[in-house]
Structure 1
Amino acid sequence: MSDADDLMEIQQLLARYAVSMTRGDIDRVLAVFTPDGTYSAFGDTYPLDEFPALIAAAPKGLFLVGTAQVDLDGDNATGTQPLCFVEHAEHAMRIGYYNDTYTRTADGWRLRTRSMTFIRRSGDHDSGRPHAFEQTRS
């Protein structure tokens, strides 16, 4: 597989994540991760088995993503992808970016880690404040 093929496969993987999050299709969201994948935001890192509850507690809306900048390194890669999330009811926005690691598996490229950084009106970049999911997490 060429670097261009790898990059296209990763871009499609990230598109599946954004479209699946927008549609609320949790199974398709989980399928873009490796089995040991994690998601980090709100001051914590969540294993994949906690991701459905995290998504259920989060606002719903449009996940509008830009093209990711990806650095390939054999069967692994790192990348950063910009995000503009628009909440469906009030159209309030959250902007920021994901920092990712990817791994080539037998089923193709998958996200191993995804870490959210929010960009605040002040210009600060941070991982966010704990939200409602944190209050129910044991």
Structure 2
Amino acid sequence: MATMEQRIARSLADYCDRLDRYDVDEVLALFAPDGTYDFGFGRIFRGLDELRVLFSRVEAYRATSHHVSNIVVDPGPGGDTATARSALYAYHVRREDESEVHVWGQYHDRFVRVGDAWLVKERRLRVAAERGTRPEDGRATLYEPLPRSA
């Protein structure tokens, strides 16, 4: 039987696979019904309807390739919650002009156990570097930076 850490690592890998295949329904199946995704700079998507809007943005890309590594899982009290941190690299090719986007960062997740599944309750994305993105609202970056101590 798979451990909690293995199931959560599988969920992270399944997220990448499903997003890269643009299977939004299957991506949403990895989130709790009241799950949230903090995209940074106050952009928080709450619940499956808002998450669908977020993940539908992937349609703007002809191809994507998401990769997670350096997964660290910490169990929460009671055994039905956990936190996870994972490193992210994401590559995108825009449909409109074939331009490329590269993103390096981290996911900070809180998982909840529902039956045998571990679902994302909260996800926070913070980015160390980005290339080819198109920042919004006059910001210098599209994504909120990963905090650094120095």
TM-score for both structures, normalised by structure 1: 0.79
- Could you tell me which runs of 5 or more consecutive residues in structure 1 were left unpaired when the two chains were aligned: 130-138
Counterpart contact for 1:116–1:127, Cα < 8 Å: no
Q: Is contact 2:40–2:126 with CA below 8 Å preserved after alignment?
A: no
Cα distance change of structure 1 residues 109 and 14 upon mapping to structure 2, 3 Å threshold: same
Quick check: which one's helix share is greater?
Answer: 1
Q: Cα RMSD between the aligned structures?
A: 2.1
* More RCO (CA 8 Å, sep 6+): 1
Tell me, in whole angstroms, the C-alpha distance in 2 between the residues paired with 1:91 and 1:120: 14
Deviations along 1:74-103, one digit per CA (max 9) or x if unpaired, are 111011111111012334311101000001
Matched, 1:128 2:143: yes
Aligned residues: 123
Q: Write the distance in 1 (CA, Å) between the matches of 2:102 and 2:65.
A: 9
Indicate the residue corresponding to 1:75 in structure 2: 80
1:45 match: 44
**1:11, 1:67 within 8 Å by CA — same for their partners in 2?**
no
TM-score (norm 2): 0.73
- Alpha-carbon offset, residue 128 of structure 1: 1.5
